[in-house]
Amino acid sequence: MTEAAYSSVYFVTGTAYAGKSTLVKALAEKHHGIACEENYHDRLLPGLDKAEYPCLTYTRDLEDWHDFVRRTPDEYEAWVKGVTLECERLELQILDVLRGQGRKIFVDTNVTLATLRRISDERHVLVMLADPEVSVRRFFDRPDREKQFLYRLMTEESDPGAALENFRQCLMRVNSREIYDTFLHSGFPVILRDENRTPAQTLVLAEEVFGLS
């Protein structure tokens, strides 16, 4: 059973390009709830202590962004794992405040599966998955400023091709089939990305999972 403290929170987790933030926004709009979309914890970033949150403050305090794209896959993977754990701490702090408003809360979450099993249940957690190859192949397809900024940095390297391939290997490491399978077999309900399914149809599927239909 869901711990009483989080009974009004509906967590959406999974892999990149699965439609998590789009769904969270749609659920909140339809059910008059609060949408905590991708990276909603960023609001706390300016005040974080570097010693307590070294991974999250890495980008905040970075002086030369070329260093970001020069990291090895091992370094990139370790950083992403660290960010996830630090984000979880911030997310739970934010949710502890929001749940006092008495509204349903829909979250594109970084909270780990282990923690979700402890604080929630299969009626309040949804896993959304896209094929790992999609996450890597389409990383720079999106027009958002951050991804295009990273792409430009790599084109400025002395060997742009090698820089792009290195970053591709980084993305493959954090969007691996192993990670996909861990989510797939987590025990929580799963929705797989389907290009033939509309966002409205995905919304209906999610409502059925959450008992909101």
Task: Return the structure tokens found at 155.
Answer: 């084109």
pLDDT tens digits, 99-119: 989 899 999 999 999 999 999
pLDDT of residue 190: 98
Task: Please state which CATH number belongs to domain 4-203.
Answer: 3.40.50
Give the separation between CA 66 and CA 156, rounded to whole angstroms: 9
Q: At what angle do helices 20-30 and 199-210 cross, to 10 degrees?
A: 70
pLDDT tens digits, 38-48: 889 889 999 99
Phi, psi at 182, each rounded to 5°:
-65, -45
Give the separation between CA 130 and CA 160, rounded to whole angstroms: 28
pLDDT of residue 142: 66
CB 198 within 8 A of CB 187: no
Residues of the chain with pLDDT under 50: 1
